Amino acid sequence: MNSLIRFLTRYQYVLLFLLLEGISLWLLAENGYYQRAFFGSFARNISGFVYSQTDKLDQYLELRQSNLNLAAENIALRNDIARLSYALNEYEHSPRIDSLNGVKYQFVKAKLVNNSVNKQHNFITLNVGKKHGIEPEMGVISHNGIVGIVASVSENYCTVISLLNIDLKISAKLQKTGYFGSLYWNGIDYRQVVLSDIPQHVQLTEGDTVVTSGYSAIFPPNIPLGVVGEISNSGGNFFTVKVNLISDFKRLDYVTVIKNLQDEERFNLEKADKNG
C-alpha cells in the first residue's frame, strides 16, 4: 500500500496528464461528428448570438457581392416563371388526369452567421431554427450548388455539416450520361471535391456538369454542383473524378434550407421494404 502511494505521488504529474489526455481523446473518439454537434448545444446559443452580432458588420462589407448574387438569382427565377407560366397555361387547357402530385419541396431562406473552410470537419451556423420549422437532416443549398445537411437545431439557430466535411457523402450524377456516384471532400482544397464510383466504361470529359442525383430524399434532383476536372484511375473498375465546385464556400452568404414534404411517406415505404 505504501509503495502504491509513493508511486502515485512520485508520478502524479504523468498520471494526471495521462488521465486528462485520456478523457480528451475519449471525447474526441466517442462522439461522431453528428453527436458532437449536439454536445455544443449550450455553447451554440451563446456563440450563435455573438456570431450574429459580429456578422452584422460583415453584412455591410459584403453588400455589393450579395446584391449581384440576388440579381442573378432574380433573373434565373424570372426565366423560370416565364417557362412555368407557359406550362401552366398548357396544363390548364389540357384535361386533368390526377391531382396526386402535390408540392414536394418547401424552401426556407436563411443567412449564415458562422462558416469555416479551413478545417477537416467544417460546420456552418445558420440564423434559422426550430421556430422556423427546421429539423435535422434537411438539405441546404445556395444559388449555385449544395451547401450541406442540417446537423442539429436549437430554438433560433441550426448547425449545418458543410459539404467541406470529410465525413459527409452525398449522391451525385453526371448530367450527360446519368451515371451516379458518391461525392465527398478529401480535405485538401476547398474549391474541389471528389466524385468516386463512376464505372470505367463511362465516357468522361473535363468540363462535364455534375448534378445531384435526387436519390437521397434530402436534395431535389438536378441541382448543378460543379464541373469535372482531373480524372484518375483509382484501381479496380472505377474512376475517381475531381470536381471543381461552382459555389465558393468562402463567400457563402444567403442559403436555402429544403424541407421535403413527402419525406415521411418515402421513409415509411423504404422501411417497410427493408423489414419485409
Partner 1 sequence: MVKDYSKYIILFITLVAVQLLVLNNIQFSGYVNPFVYVLFILLLPYKISGWALLLLAFVTGLSIDAFNNTIGMHSSATLFMAFIRPYVLSRFASRENSDRTGIPNLANNGINWFIQYTILMVFIHHFALFYLEAFSFSHFFVTLGRTLLSTLFSSAVIILSQFFVFRN
Chain contacts with partner 1 (rule: CB under 8 A): 12-13, 16-17, 20-21, 23-29, 31, 36-37, 39-40, 42-43, 46-47, 50, 54, 116-121, 123, 159, 186-190, 250
Between 116 and 244, name the residue whose CB sits nearer to partner 1: 116
Nearest distance from C-beta of residue 236 to partner 1, angstroms? 18
For residue 89, what is the DSSP state? Answer: H
For partner 1, the closer CB: 65 or 200: 65
Say which residues have a Cβ less than 8 Å from residue 181's Cβ, sequence separation at least 6.
171, 172, 173, 195, 196, 197, 198, 238, 241
Q: Which is nearer to partner 1, 186 or 222 (CB)?
A: 186
Q: How far is the CB of 125 from partner 1 (least distance, A)?
A: 9
Dist. CA 148–CA 154, nearest whole Å: 17
Distances (CA, A) of 207 to 176, 198, 227, 239: 11, 16, 5, 16
Closest CB 42 distance from partner 1, rounded Å: 7
Nearest distance, CB of residue 148 and partner 1, angstroms: 13
Closest to partner 1 by CB, 54 or 85: 54
**CB of 18 or CB of 81, closer to partner 1:** 18
Q: How far is the CB of 91 from partner 1 (least distance, A)?
A: 47
CB distance 252 to 147 below 8 Å: yes
Nearer CB in complex with partner 1: 36/259: 36
CA 141 – CA 171 distance, rounded (Å):
14
Which cell goes with 150? 442540417
CB atoms within 10 A of CB 122: 22
Q: Are strands 238-245 and 158-165 parallel, antiparallel or unpaired?
A: unpaired
* Closest alpha carbon to 221 in 272, 169, 170, 163: 170
| Least distance in angstroms from the C-beta of 88 to partner 1 | 45
We find the least distance from the C-beta atom of residue 124 to partner 1, in angstroms, to be 10
Q: Nearest to residue 209, comparing CAs of 245, 247, 256, 169?
A: 245
Closest to partner 1 by CB, 208 vs 226, is 226
The CA distance from 206 to 242, in Å, is 10
